[in-house]
Amino acid sequence: MRTVHFTVIILFAAATVVFAFQNLEIVTMAFLGFKARAPLALLTSVIYILGALTGSSVFALLRRSYKSYREPLDEPEAR
């Protein structure tokens, strides 16, 4: 199973390198008044990383909320 995972990682890395070399032209991206001129591969990578970071933080927030909802409330000790 480890070789399957390793093979998938190698194929994904190779596809990423091919994408980067085939998309070196400069593009302009505009969003909410901000403009960026950079190679398409660089902009795609930055957007992907930002999406991964925000997606994982939202997932962690939802998981924590669900976990706290499922935990029983602490009852005060009997005197």
In sequence order, the β-bridge partners of residue 16 are none
Q: Give this prediction's pTM.
A: 0.51
pLDDT at 75: 57
pLDDT tens across the length of the chain (79 residues): 888 888 998 998 888 888 888 888 898 888 899 888 988 888 888 888 888 888 777 777 778 777 777 776 555 565 5
Q: What is the DSSP letter of 41?
A: H
**Amino acid in the structure at residue 47:** I
Please report, for residues 4, 9, 28, 38, 41, the alpha-carbon distance to residue 14 in angstroms, rounded to integers and kept in the order given: 15, 9, 26, 22, 14
